Amino acid sequence: MPHEPKIVAGVEIIPLCDAVGPMKEPVGRPLPEMFKGATFAPGEEWVLHFHCFLLRAAGRTVLVDTGIGGVDSPATWAPLPGRLAGELAAAGVVPADVDVVVLTHLHADHVGGSVVDGAPAFPNARHVVQRAEVEQVSRTARELFLDPLRDLLDVVDGGAEPVPGVRVRHAPGHTPGHQCVEVGDVVMSGDAVLHPVQLADPSIPYVYDDDPGLAVRTRVDLLARAAVLAPAHFAGAFVAVRSA
């Protein structure tokens, strides 16, 4: 079932849990290798929660990320299949209701549910993605995700407001075109913040960041702006960063 929603500046934010589980090999590694410089308990496992977010704003329905996808998802290192469709149904939404999809980036666990059987899963939705992400994406990702969505793409450069009260902000580092979604002082951070150790020390890098130094600078800036973080992979859907 969806997590408890939050209403911010007139926008309802409903976290949807697409899956829960650890990374599988070959992507999964011991935590000290994935977050160098952080201290973990011996043998501590990273159990990821895969969150998407449903927003109701100005009479529109917005979905932030589309999760892992079905059993044929290329995210074979993640729990399969994702359960986004059931989470949306529990929130009273069918795919045709979604007006806008914001893709934080084009890694398979964030975009895998965008396409079903070669066709857009959300056929009435504009799909917002950063130009830098489109330009750097692999041929495989283009064929699997971008090509079926080509008539639905809204390619943006930097900041945009696809729906009143819902803003996207270019937040590069994890990938060149990674973006976050902001509603008031709540930030849906995608993979800009991967693990709670990066809240205490945002300089801790993540092994799979495309540009670790840029990712650190983006993370520091993001945490300075946000009162509440809505992370993709924490157990909690909302995390207080500072007093509002």
Q: Which domains are present in the chain?
A: 6-35+46-240 (3.60.15.10)
pLDDT in tens, 98-148: 999 999 999 999 999 999 999 999 999 999 999 999 999 888 889 999 999
Determine the average pLDDT of the residues in 235-242. 92
Q: What angle do CA 163, 117, 231 make, to 5 degrees?
A: 40
User: Which of 67, 88, 133, 135 is closest to 106 using CA atoms?
Assistant: 133
Q: What angle do CA 235, 174, 132 make, to 5 degrees?
A: 130
3-state secondary structure 117-159: CCEECCCCCEEEEEHHHHHHCCHHHHHHHHHHHCCCEEEECCC
> What would the two tokens of residue 106 be?
């084009």
pLDDT in tens, 25-47: 889 999 999 999 999 999 999 99
pTM: 0.96
| Helix (H) / strand (E) containing 224 | helix 212-225
At 120 the pLDDT is 98
Contact of 106 with 178, CB cutoff 8 Å: no
